[in-house]
Structure 1
Amino acid sequence: MENVDKQVEDKLKHFDDEKKEEILANFDHFKNYLGSKVELGEKMGLSEERLAQITEKVAGYLAKNEDPKNREEYLLQELWKVGSKEEQHMLAHMLLRMVKKDS
């Protein structure tokens, strides 16, 4: 699974700025994008726990490297910053459930 972590990190570092702006500009776009990636991960056989670990990595990257583009992203970033590792992990699970519900 380390290979998946490396792929996620590489993808985040080399993500097209225009595409990133399009995804982050609107919270519904962000949820749809995340939902499509979760669906892909499930088709690849990744467990919910593994998906949550990947979601944590993405959320940590966004919280550290991206300015929020809307109120929802601002709230998520603030929750992420004040959360313990355990709380961040639970927030990742909650994000997964949220995007699964919407798909």
Structure 2
Amino acid sequence: MVFDFDLKQINTNWDNWKRYLGQAVEFAEELGMSRERINNLAAQAGSVLAENVPPANPEQKTLKELWEVADKDEQQVIARLMTKLASKSIS
């Protein structure tokens, strides 16, 4: 799979962002990663994004606020839900 995208456009449009994340999940699965590993990586990425990247749209702002009030277990749930949502976005 080849990623051909304009990061600025992907980051500012929620549907494009979900589609891009879905492609990343699909790519990871094609590489043989387990869903559990993908979810763990998503949780790590969520932490990095919440700490370092300003939200580009209202949906990302809401997600960041939820992430910041969640404990570690709840963040894992958010990460699992985001990978599930993202996978559904490319179907």
TM bin, normalised by shorter chain, reads 0.7 to 0.9
Pick aligned residue for 2:35 from 44, 48, 69: 48
Q: TM-score normalized by structure 1?
A: 0.77
In the alignment, the residues of structure 1 paired with residue 52 and residue 69 of structure 2 have an alpha-carbon distance, to the nearest angstrom, of: 16
Return 5+ residue gaps in structure 2 as ranges.
Answer: 1-5
**What value does the CA root-mean-square deviation take over the aligned residues?**
1.1
Counting helix residues as a fraction of each chain, which structure ranks higher? 1
Give the structure, 1 or 2, with the largest relative contact order (CA under 8 Å, sep 6 or more): 2
1:71 is aligned to 58
Pick aligned residue for 1:95 from 66, 82, 88: 82
Give the share of equivalent positions with the same residue, in percent. Answer: 35
Given residue 42 of structure 2, which amino acid in structure 1 is its aligned partner?
A: T
- The aligned length equals 85
In the alignment, the residues of structure 1 paired with residue 74 and residue 83 of structure 2 have an alpha-carbon distance, to the nearest angstrom, of: 14
